Structure 1
Amino acid sequence: MARTICVAIFVLFTCQTSYSLRDLDYYWREYTGEVPEDAILGGRDINGNNIYIGQAYVKNEGLVVVQITPGVRQVLAPMKGIKKIDKYIKILCGPQQKVFWMSSNSSNLHLALIDKHAVIGGHEDGLGYINIGRISHEGEVKIGKINSFSAESAQFYFNDNGLERLITSYEILMYNDKDLDVRIKPY
């Protein structure tokens, strides 16, 4: 019995780790205010300017998805309110043609993700991984986090003029690990 359990655990561990993050084309780089050429576009602000997908460390909370505006070093992280962060910020980079946005909502996200690869945007300490989401809000794109660790309640949190808001319908950033050419829509 013990041997069967050990073999099952080994097989499960091997299957889960055979597809490591090192095999992926996307990665996080330090953000210094300059947007790298291979940064993944998140959408456009109300003035039509590009915005990007970021990740910021919030002390004692985790790594949180944030919206990056080119040239601005400070980001606003939706984490139990809005936290202003000006260090430990990263920007998502990789081939634009390998990522795409998929519409979803909080009650069916987990079913929609079966056999698909959602881009991991960070984690909340003690709770689990979070994903990258976006919405169109009052004429502009808002990038934020999806608390996907809570089945049937995977809500999207974002910064709305200094206030943390949540919404239940959104788009989630997906990674195409097949050899298909997908094009990201700018929103």
Structure 2
Amino acid sequence: MALKTALLIVLGFAAVACGSPKKYTHYYWRDYTGEVPCDAVVGGHDELNRTTYIGQGVALNNDYYSLSPLTIVEGEKVQRAPLWGYGMEVVQTRILCVTSPYPDKWIATNSKKLVADTVDEQLVLGGIEGSKHDNNVRYDLNIGRAKVGDKLITGKIITHDTYNSVLYVVDGWQAQEVQEFEVLVANN
């Protein structure tokens, strides 16, 4: 338990420190207690057409960790984030909120065009992912969403290089890789 607590603290500081040079101030993370606050950012909807929200939680799998964007359905006790092909249960879930009346801005893109489609935009940082033992394995994660069946699911975007970005979402207990998606950008 002490290891998980220490990792959560380190990941929390890393998430705050790894923002881009252009700062946006109207998005922030709040602890998720099971009730959705009135300023929560809508992420999509589930198969029952219930509104879902953008969450963030820590997932651990052997040497790998992820402070990852995820989908929150109000009232569900277990949240899962994609990590190495699985929907891993997360600890210490937070929910993305907004302090201003700016509407959310989603840009449609795909794995090959994300960087080009968002060159003049500021992507909202959703977390970080990496290896506890290899400092060279570390990714900033952006927030994306995609239609999977009859759900609009929120997940993490990993950008490997200019022409290789992937959205990972959790559907049930399986992580899925999505090539066509939308990315959340700051609407300043």
Tell whether the structures are fold-level matches, with TM greater than 0.5. yes
What per-residue deviation string (whole Å, max 9, x for no partner) do you get for residues 27-54 of structure 1? Answer: 0000010111100011111212110000
Give 1:10's aligned residue: none
1:72 partner letter: E
**What's the CA shift for 1:141?**
0.8
TM-score (norm 2): 0.78
Q: Residue 129 of structure 1 contacts residue 149 of structure 1 at CA under 8 Å; is this kept in 2?
A: no
Structure 1: give runs of 5+ residues left out of the alignment.
Answer: 1-15, 178-187
Equivalent residue in structure 1 for 2:149, among 105, 118, 138:
138
The answer for the alignment partner of 2:50 in structure 1 is 49
Where in structure 2 are the equivalents of 1:7-156 lying within 5 Å? 17=21, 19-20=22-23, 23-59=24-60, 60-80=64-84, 81-85=86-90, 87-94=91-98, 95=100, 97-125=102-130, 126-156=137-167
The residue that corresponds to 1:9 in the other structure is: none
| Larger strand proportion of the pair | 2
Q: Conserved in 2, the CA contact under 8 Å of 1:102 and 1:171?
A: yes
**Equivalent pairs, count:** 158
Are residues 1:173 and 2:178 paired?
Answer: no
Larger-Rg structure: 1
Deviations 1:90-137 (A, max 9, x none): 100004634211100011111111111111111112322111111111
> How high is the sequence identity, in percent, across the aligned residues?
30
1:161, CA displacement in angstroms? Answer: 2.1
CA RMSD of aligned residues (A): 1.6
39-48 or 25-34, larger mean C-alpha shift: 39-48
Structure 1 SS opposite 2:122: coil
Is the CA contact 1:156–1:170 (under 8 Å) kept in the aligned structure 2? yes
Asked if structure 2 preserves the Cα contact closer than 8 Å seen for 1:98 and 1:175, the reply is no
